[in-house]
Homo-oligomer: A and B are copies of this chain.
């Protein structure tokens, strides 16, 4: 039988890459024939983590059905966020911490989702349940995933469990979570060398909300103005993406990781649903979102509700 491929979502972030590596390590230790792969470019933050813990990036794949029948999804479940030929293979397992939507199997499956801040936190529990020890480098990568998804434990998505697991992982990895974490986040927030298309795709996810196609991209920065000076260029790029993907709405969330606030740049036919979701008026396509740092917990749910109410 061909090996099972393990991967996270398109436009991979640190949790998607590191959880694929960690879960592949766990399954290998349990005797399974698996390989972690990735569906896109490794971003600057993830690269910093991989280099710190001396681990190779997973192999890039465009499709999977040409090499296997069996896959395991980490850090996502929605079809449109997964590999393009996902319908051609069997999803054997899902380890995730997002809402469930646009996911269907014909057979029973191992599906493990928990409402925690990070997939790596769940994988830590599965290591423990199976009494498997976590290698030092893998622990460092899992810690990186939690720091990334929780913005160094400051996001409202971060649970007590995420913090406890991060402490345990920091011990195994032998690093100071706070100082390492800030260095890692800053490595990811360096936007100076990025084109506007790159800024919009670093961490972009597509959602189907009441049959409307919505893309929500997010970028972390230490100064929102570093991004907003390029507003007209970004708007042109968003309009081109909306046309090419036939999107109804594009929301670009620019998050200040020091102040823990965001500004959204919003374009598309359905901007009224955004305004309704957040009780704001867009001013030249932008709105300030004080205290908003989490797409999953603070952007997707109100936007989903607004589209469902249409």
Contact = CB atoms under 8 A, between A and B. Distances in A.
A110 B100 contact: no
A104 interface: yes
Contacts of A105: 99-101
Assembly stoichiometry (copies)? 2
A165 interface: no
A108 interface: yes
A108 B159 CA distance: 13
A291 interface: no
Interface in A101-157: 101-115, 129
A255 to B, nearest CB: 19
Nearest to A78: B104
B114 A106 contact: no
Contact of A112 (B97, B100, B106, B112): B112
Contact of A115 (B109, B300, B308): B109
Interface residues of A, number: 27
A245 B36 CA distance: 46
Contacts of A101: 104-105
A230 interface: no
A130 to B, nearest CB: 11
A101 B109 CA distance: 11
Interface in A69-123: 97-115
A268 to B, nearest CB: 20
A98 B108 CA distance: 5
Interface string A217-240: 000000000000000000000000
B108 A111 contact: no
Contacts of A102: 104
23 contacts: A97-B108, A99-B105, A99-B106, A99-B109, A100-B103, A100-B104, A100-B111, A101-B104, A102-B104, A106-B301, A106-B305, A106-B308, A107-B115, A107-B301, A108-B296, A108-B297, A109-B113, A110-B113, A110-B115, A111-B111, A111-B112, A111-B113, A111-B114
Given A100-B105, A106-B305, 19 more contacts: A97-B108, A99-B107, A99-B109, A100-B100, A100-B103, A100-B104, A100-B109, A101-B105, A102-B104, A103-B103, A106-B300, A106-B301, A108-B296, A108-B297, A109-B113, A109-B115, A111-B111, A111-B112, A112-B112
